[in-house]
Amino acid sequence: MKKKLSLLLVLIMMMGLIPFGAMAEDPITITLFYSDNATLPFKQDWPAIVELEKRFNCKLAFEPIPSADYATKVANVLNTGENAPDVMLYLSTGGSYASYALAGTMVPVSDYFDLMPNFMERIKEMGLEEELKTRYLGDGKLYYMPGLKDKPFYDCGLVLREDFMQKKGFETPKTYEDLYQILKAYKEENPDSQPLTSVVGLRVIERMMMPAWGISLGKNSSTGTGVLSWDYDKNEYFAGAISQNYKDYITYMRKLRAEGLLDIELEQDDASTAKKLATGQACAVFGWYDQMGGWEAASNIDGIKFKLYPPQEGSRGAYTRERSQTEGGVIFPIQLLKKDNFKEIIKKVDEVFYSKEAAKIWCLGVEGDSYTMVDGKVVYNDTILNAPEGIYKYMQNAYGTGCGGLQLVWYIEQEFTKYGEDYAEVNRQVMEMNAIPYVVPVPTFEDEVAEELAGLRTTLLDAFVVWNEEFISGTKDIEKDWDAFVKDMTDKGIQKYVDTYNEYKY
């Protein structure tokens, strides 16, 4: 009987009564470079990836590359064209990548918008048409599909021991003078402590604190220049490293270090930071909301509680690090166009990373497994709800959700489900404060100019890092040695640097 039915099906198909396309097709394979973070090791069998492969009939063949080696590996592919994957994730065309794009090493995605209906729909839905234009290069083309956020998130900033704040009757710190008083009080009660510590290093503190002084400098500067900053009122670059803004900022930092309020060992790994916070050696850090649960779980201090606070006010206002709604995303190496099925690959990437269905999986995981819907609300399973490191961090490791480079569409209301109500509340406060500056579009330079600027950047940034550390430590006196510092930076070409950036600004 089964043989008769099979023969009948074949005859019906041959007669054209059932289209061949209705039969299951073989999954399309897509090869991808992925920047792998040692604190969140990649897993090919993360449930989010497995579910997406099943839903969209594809095989996502990731090549995880240690994050420290990622830029080198990408540059090698772009330089040689050898062993190119179909997709390289977590990238944009900022900095040197613009030169690679203009040299013809990347697919101009703007030529293929018709193959990206989901991406284009998300851009329209989030109102990002104008911001997307700032990502185009000098030839009028776009060379990557950015990661997209419907609103900028405030997920990192000043984190304080809330239990200590309540014990001492401190209110939410509105200014950096308020923070100083809190740190000072903690030091008086805990003489052996160094109240303010860091995640990773000084550069993270600078990234989050400096905007309140109207600057962004150092290794993590928002402009990527290291020594220039953006004047949001004049819409131009200025030499932030030798400005009064920086002098005011570094004077504050020197005061903290001189009074024993700033950790003398800021360059450290996550375990060192956690130990200092969990043992009470420190009470404050500029860190991420999703880290707080881990610090609390690692502590033996009764009632210890950390809280993320809105930005504090410096000499230029209450601002935190700059954020964009378009971030690093998908680059297609030009070799993809040599494949017969390159259009199918682009379409599939659009579905897997930018469709609403996929966005929900990358954020929440799999319905019926990681969560269920109850009265229209997301309810996570008991294992996730009771995870000591918190919902967000647990789901990253166990499900592959919320991972930078993989999740490319972010809806803030969906993200709120993975955090406590306090996270939603602090985000509402920050939005009301208008405390998140925009990220300045990176200028596009001709190759010769870009090469000259790269040399200037190295020279100036190297010098700035040394001076900055010496000012904080007190090895150099801010007042007595300021003129010598300005002269050194001027002699090394900071004026030419800023003039060139302003000549080519977007």
Dump pLDDT digits (tens) for 55-96.
Answer: 999 999 999 999 989 999 999 999 999 999 999 999 998 767
Residues 6+ apart with CB under 8 A from 475: 469
The Cα–Cα gap between 206 and 229 comes to 13
Q: Which strands sit side by side in the sheet containing 284-288, from one edge to the other?
A: 196-197, 284-288, 156-161, 306-308
Question: Would the pLDDT of 13 be above 60?
Answer: no
Q: Are 366 and 395 in contact (CB under 8 A)?
A: no
Question: Would the pLDDT of 10 be above 60?
Answer: no
pTM of the model: 0.79
Average pLDDT over residues 237-263: 98
Mean pLDDT over each residue of the chain, to the nearest integer: 93
Q: How confident is residue 461, by pLDDT bands cut at 50, 70 and 90?
A: very high
What pLDDT does 96 receive?
74
Average pLDDT over residues 397-406: 96
> Does CATH place domain 28-152+325-410 in 3.40.50.300?
no
Model confidence pLDDT, tens digit, residues 289-308: 989 988 999 999 999 999 99
The Cα–Cα gap between 42 and 498 comes to 40
Q: 272 vs 151, 187, 219, 253, 330, CA distance in Å?
A: 33, 20, 21, 22, 34
Question: Would the pLDDT of 42 be above 90?
Answer: yes
The Cα–Cα gap between 377 and 383 comes to 18
Question: Would the pLDDT of 8 be above 80?
Answer: no
The Cα–Cα gap between 130 and 123 comes to 10
Q: How confident is residue 24, by pLDDT bands cut at 50, 70 and 90?
A: low
Question: Would the pLDDT of 7 be above 70?
Answer: no
What pLDDT does 170 receive?
98
Average pLDDT over residues 371-390: 95
Question: Would the pLDDT of 22 be above 70?
Answer: no
In this prediction, what percent of the chain has a pLDDT beyond 90?
83
Average pLDDT over residues 149-171: 96
The alpha carbon of 72 is separated from its chain's Cα centroid by a whole number of angstroms, namely 19
- The type of residue at 103 is A
CATH no., domain 160-322+425-506: 3.40.190.10
Residues 6+ apart with CB under 8 A from 64: 34, 36, 41, 42
Question: Would the pLDDT of 9 be above 80?
Answer: no
Question: Would the pLDDT of 424 be above 50?
Answer: yes
DSSP codes joined into one string, 216-276: --STT-TTSSSS-EEETTTTEEE-GGGSHHHHHHHHHHHHHHHTT-B-S-----HHHHHHH
What pLDDT does 447 receive?
78
Q: Which of 268, 261, 269 is nearest to 193 (CA)?
A: 261
Q: Which strands sit side by side in the sheet containing 409-410, from one edge to the other?
A: 58-66, 28-36, 87-91, 326-331, 145-149, 409-410
The Cα–Cα gap between 119 and 102 comes to 23
Average pLDDT over residues 273-281: 97
The Cα–Cα gap between 3 and 103 comes to 59
Domain locations along the chain: 28-152+325-410, 160-322+425-506
Question: Would the pLDDT of 501 be above 80?
Answer: yes
What pLDDT does 454 receive?
87
Q: Are 195 and 283 in contact (CB under 8 A)?
A: yes
Helices (H), 280-418: 292-297, 342-354, 356-364, 382-385, 391-399, 412-416
What pLDDT does 490 receive?
98
Question: Would the pLDDT of 21 be above 70?
Answer: no
- The type of residue at 295 is W
What pLDDT does 4 receive?
46
Average pLDDT over residues 168-183: 98
Average pLDDT over residues 193-202: 95
The Cα–Cα gap between 332 and 109 comes to 8
Question: Would the pLDDT of 3 be above 90?
Answer: no
In this prediction, what percent of the chain has a pLDDT beyond 70?
95
Q: Are 366 and 48 in contact (CB under 8 A)?
A: yes
What tokens were used for 75?
């540059």
- Between 447-473 and 244-258, two packed helices, what is the crossing angle to 10 degrees? 40
Question: Do 160-322+425-506 and 28-152+325-410 fall under one CATH topology?
Answer: yes
Q: Are 404 and 90 in contact (CB under 8 A)?
A: yes
